[in-house]
Structure 1
Amino acid sequence: MESWLKRSGATGLDGLELADFLGIGRGIKALRQFEEGETIFTIPQSVLWTVDHAYADPILGPALLSARPPLSIDDTLAIYILFVRSRRSGYDGRQSHIAALPTSYTSSIFFAENELQLCAGSSLYATTIHLIQQIEDDYQKLVTRLFERHENLFPRDEFTIDDYKWALCTVWSRAMDFKLHDEKSIRLLGPFADMLNHSSQVEQCHTYDPISGNLSVLAGKPYECGDQVFINYGPVPNNRLSRLYGFVMPGNPNDCYDLVLSTQPEAPFFEQKRRLWVSAGLDSTCTITLTLTEPLPSSVLQYLRIQRLNASDIVSMTLHQGDAASEKISTANEIEILEFLVESISGLLDGFKPQLEDLEELLAKGVYTPAGNAWMAAHVSMVREGFAGNGRERYCGQ
């Protein structure tokens, strides 16, 4: 792969090499010193995996463009990867990149049922179950919209649902996203750059030049010869890390819990309440992030105060939309929402299996293989249960 990249105009690769790191796996090792902020290497736009490159391919492009409705960005990139992998000639450079990719992934969609059950009750569990079904549905749509219409391009034995899952996880775990001008964005995979592992101890240091289309990686900290070079994926919580990247970080400072609050249109005074939610910067269905430092955001109480308004409160609240329930409306309303929160969080805690104390003991005894699927699921579940417990304590204290 490196020789192909150098021939294509990549720079800086002589100071680096792919290496296996104990407890981490494959990554990129520095062969010389790098100062913080120094450009380590640059990958030219011609070898990047992008939607535009897929559409521009003389063989694949017309088939992709014929799909109705158009494929999503992730599906386009996944099909592009599988298409190149299936070709017998003409794509030697890109195939050398594919050959360097993992043959399997540890994302949560590949957890065995008993492993996934370890995080039952967490958002990772529900999201993963939904994602597995969504992948199956999306694959069947691809069969109808693309594979059956172009059987000569997509041999079914090389475009199975397992191949599709592998390609999707390649995209999810290795793609980089960049914001461009006019609120546009680009998602791409950069050969060699996608071998960089994550560390929260470095600054975000991968950049995209919209003029040249090149991808560059800078040193997010000083490196000595032999050090592993990292990039920062951003403030990603463990449930997302395990779902998209196949790893977790014990003690992750970015962990959070997504609380979903929803009200059906058939609820009493729904339209009046919807207007109040909008005036408060909320909506009838809201996902509110809880953190260890803020287990009870004011927006949770604000949403529920509006949701539980009775007939006598509606008129006065409508006249004072600027307040939008930012303060207590009445003692009865406040008691009702706090009782609801305590009951809901208690139910959530009861749904975690096994319980927090059991997970802590199992992890302490080393029952689960470090970095294995069960180990990851246990860490995600333990953090989620901790959030729920903190939330209940805070609600009870209101």
Structure 2
Amino acid sequence: MEGWLKESGAVGLDALELAEFPVIGRGVRTLRRFNEGERILTIPRDVLWTVEHAYADPLLGPVLRSARPPLSVDDTLATYILFVRSRESGYDGLRSHLAAVPKSYSSSIFFTEDELEVCAGTSLYAITKQLGRCIEDDYRALVYKWALCTVWSRAMDFALPDGKSVRLLAPFADMLNHSSEVRQCHAYDPLSGNLSILAGKGYEAGDQVFIHYGSVPNNRLLRLYGFVIPSNPNDSYDLVLETHPLAPFFEQKRKLWALAGLDSTSTISLTLTDPLPNNVLRYLRIQRSDESDLAAVALQQADPKYEKISNSSEVEALQFLIESFSGILDSFGTQPEKLEEQLAEGLYPSGGNAWAAAHVSLGEQQVLRLARKRAEDMLAAVERGSGIEKGSLSAAAQCANCKKDFVQLMTCGRCKAVKYCGRTCQVAHYKEHKAKCQYTGSQTK
């Protein structure tokens, strides 16, 4: 591969070499000293794997360009990789690059059922299961998984000045491993189309060269790159908030979400440093509003400092959030204390798939526990400041038909006097409620 790259105009290969490192595996080693910020390597545009190059291929390009619907960037690159790998001539340089990439990956999509069960309940578990359902487990699917993982684990993404972006694979440069101890040090020149690697720190001869993938949580590291960082400070949990289009006042709420910079389905990242972002409660305040609350929310949207609609509605939203976090945490296969004990006892061999899955589960559960604690603290503060007796709201929020307690109930649109847990109970209770509903309604005219 190095000979082909030199012939193609790559610069810097004489000072670097591929090498095997303990634990981390294959990487790139320096053959001389480099100062921080010094240019280490330049890979010319003509040898980069991009969608543009795939479309320009005389054989595969016409097929890709005519695909309807068009293939995604990842699918296009994976198809291009498999196409080049299948050719016996005409692609010697690109084939030499593929010969150097791993023959297998430790990304979560290749985990056994038992290995994946270690992180049951995590977002990684759900996404991996979804990916598995999308790809049938036959020979062709396994080969395609390999190609996709080659893209996921080795691609670099760059934002362009025109607002667009480019995803590419760079031969040799894709052998560089990640370290959080170096700064961002790979750059794409949109004018020349070349990729450059700079020294993210000072290196002595014989050191391993690293690049920085970004502040990536373990669930993403394991899904895309096949490794984790124990006690990763960037661990997170992606909380998905969504509302059905048939929910009461959906269109009014959709407009209010848009004003708040949110969507009816919003994914909000909870992190160790910010376990309960403001947007979570902003979303829930709108979602859980009745007709009288919506006008207040609309007025508050003009004030970026608004905190709540009312004490009672805030208590209701926070109680719902606490119950939701508790439900999510209960869905995890193993509690953090048990996972830590199992890791300490060596139940999961260090560096193995189950070991990595355990660290993903630990990180997500830590974030969720912090989020729940933050919500509990906020609830206590609201109850203290408003004089609301602790737990009184949830005890009073009872469905008029089934008599069960709920944090969120729908109100009878006519009399506003009774509440139901859903449409089924409202219809079932109507005969009993009809007379009172009409009477109450006439009194309020």
SS at match of 2:162: helix
Paired letter, 2:24: I
1:336 to 304, 313, 316: 316
SS at match of 1:397: helix
Residues 305-350 of structure 1, C-alpha deviations (whole Å, 9 max, x = no match): 1111123222333344314793221222112111111111111111
* Structure-2 residue corresponding to 1:22: 22
Paired letter, 1:198: H
CA distance in 1, matches of 2:60, 2:269: 41
* Structure-1 residue corresponding to 2:93: 93
Paired letter, 1:242: L
Paired letter, 2:291: A
* Structure-1 residue corresponding to 2:422: none
Paired letter, 2:123: S
SS at match of 1:172: helix
* Structure-1 residue corresponding to 2:11: 11
Deviation at 1:241, TM superposition (A): 0.6
Count of aligned positions: 378
Task: Indicate if the aligned counterparts of 1:259 and 1:287 stay in contact, CA closer than 8 A.
Answer: yes
* Structure-1 residue corresponding to 2:277: 297
SS at match of 2:233: coil
2:213 to 220, 224, 233: 233
Please tell me the root mean square deviation across aligned C-alpha atoms, in Å: 1.7
* Structure-2 residue corresponding to 1:312: 292
CA distance in 1, matches of 2:286, 2:304: 8
CA distance in 1, matches of 2:197, 2:188: 9
* Structure-1 residue corresponding to 2:326: 346
Q: Which segment drifts farther, 263-272 or 215-224?
A: 263-272
Decide which structure has the larger Cα Rg and report it. 2
Task: Indicate if the aligned counterparts of 2:39 and 2:196 stay in contact, CA closer than 8 A.
Answer: yes
- Indicate whether 1:208 and 2:196 are aligned: no
Residues 270-302 of structure 1, C-alpha deviations (whole Å, 9 max, x = no match): 122222222222221111111112212121112
SS at match of 1:125: helix
SS at match of 2:27: strand
* Structure-1 residue corresponding to 2:253: 273
CA distance in 1, matches of 2:105, 2:160: 30
Q: Using CA pairs below 8 Å that are at least 6 residues apart, which structure has the higher relative contact order?
A: 1
* Structure-1 residue corresponding to 2:172: 192
Q: Which segment drifts farther, 302-311 or 349-358?
A: 302-311
Task: Indicate if the aligned counterparts of 1:28 and 1:228 stay in contact, CA closer than 8 A.
Answer: yes
CA distance in 2, matches of 1:90, 1:323: 63
CA distance in 1, matches of 2:233, 2:171: 30
Deviation at 1:375, TM superposition (A): 0.8
Paired letter, 1:341: L
CA distance in 2, matches of 1:271, 1:69: 30
* Structure-1 residue corresponding to 2:373: 393
SS at match of 1:130: helix
CA distance in 2, matches of 1:371, 1:114: 16
Task: Indicate if the aligned counterparts of 1:305 and 1:325 stay in contact, CA closer than 8 A.
Answer: no
Task: Indicate if the aligned counterparts of 1:277 and 1:324 stay in contact, CA closer than 8 A.
Answer: no
Paired letter, 2:322: V
Paired letter, 2:146: W
CA distance in 1, matches of 2:225, 2:200: 20
CA distance in 1, matches of 2:26, 2:75: 26
Q: Which segment drifts farther, 98-107 or 53-62?
A: 53-62
TM-score by length of 1: 0.91
Deviation at 1:181, TM superposition (A): 2.0
SS at match of 1:313: helix
Q: How does 1:105-124 map to 2 (within 5 A)?
A: 105-124=105-124
SS at match of 2:262: coil
Task: Indicate if the aligned counterparts of 2:296 and 2:309 stay in contact, CA closer than 8 A.
Answer: no
Q: State, as a whole percentage, how many aligned pairs show the same letter.
A: 67
Paired letter, 1:107: S
Paired letter, 1:168: L
* Structure-2 residue corresponding to 1:257: 237
1:384 to 338, 355, 364: 364
Summarize the Cα distance change of 1:326–1:135 in structure 2 as closer, same or farther, 3 Å threshold. Answer: farther
* Structure-1 residue corresponding to 2:128: 128
TM-score by length of 2: 0.82
CA distance in 1, matches of 2:132, 2:17: 36
Q: Which runs of 5+ in 1 are unaligned?
A: 140-156
CA distance in 2, matches of 1:175, 1:316: 47
Q: Which runs of 5+ in 2 are unaligned?
A: 379-445
- Indicate whether 1:179 and 2:159 are aligned: yes
CA distance in 2, matches of 1:268, 1:298: 24
Paired letter, 2:255: R
Q: How does 1:28-177 map to 2 (within 5 A)?
A: 28-136=28-136, 160-177=140-157
Summarize the Cα distance change of 1:38–1:263 in structure 2 as closer, same or farther, 3 Å threshold. Answer: same
Q: How does 1:355-366 map to 2 (within 5 A)?
A: 355-366=335-346
Q: Which segment drifts farther, 119-128 or 54-63?
A: 54-63
Q: How does 1:366-377 map to 2 (within 5 A)?
A: 366-377=346-357
Paired letter, 2:249: F
Paired letter, 1:16: L
CA distance in 1, matches of 2:199, 2:135: 36
